[in-house]
Amino acid sequence: MLRLLRGQTHSVLSGLCLIKKGITNEMVTYQETDSTRLFMQPISDDLLETYLDTGAWQGKSGAFGYQDGNDWITILEGSESNVVGLPLELFRTMYHK
C-alpha cells in the first residue's frame, strides 16, 4: 500500500454522525463527511523498509500514522485531527448547530 501511495496525493475521509436533543427534546441527527488531502514523498525502498521494520505501521489505516511524525507525509489541505482519527473541527461545528 505504501509503495502505491509514495509520490502521490491521496485523501483521508471520515464520516461523523452526531445525535443530540433539539430545542423541544426531539432527537436531531447530523451527518457530515470530512476530507483531508495528503502528499507522500517519493521515499526510497530502503527508507520504506526501515519504516516497516519499526512496526509503527501496524493497526493504522493507510499503514502509516501521521501523528508519528513521519516527515515524508504532508497535509496539503484539511484537518490534521481528521487524519489521526476524529475530525475535531467538524465535530465542534456540528455540536454547535
**pTM of the shown model:** 0.85
Give tens-digit pLDDT for 22-45.
889 999 999 999 999 999 999 999
Q: What does pLDDT average to in each consecutive run of 10 residues of the chain (97 residues)? A: 95 96 92 97 96 93 88 96 95 93
User: Domains of the chain, with CATH numbers?
Assistant: 2-95 (3.90.950.10)
88 CB-near residues (< 8 Å, 6+ apart): 79, 81
What contacts 24+ positions apart, CB below 8 Å, involve 53-61?
Answer: 57/2, 61/12
State the amino acid at position 2 in one-letter form.
L
- Give the pLDDT confidence score for residue 4 in this predicted structure: 94
- Give the pLDDT confidence score for residue 22 in this predicted structure: 85
For residue 15, give the H/E element and its range: strand 9-21
- Give the pLDDT confidence score for residue 27 in this predicted structure: 95
DSSP for residue 63: G
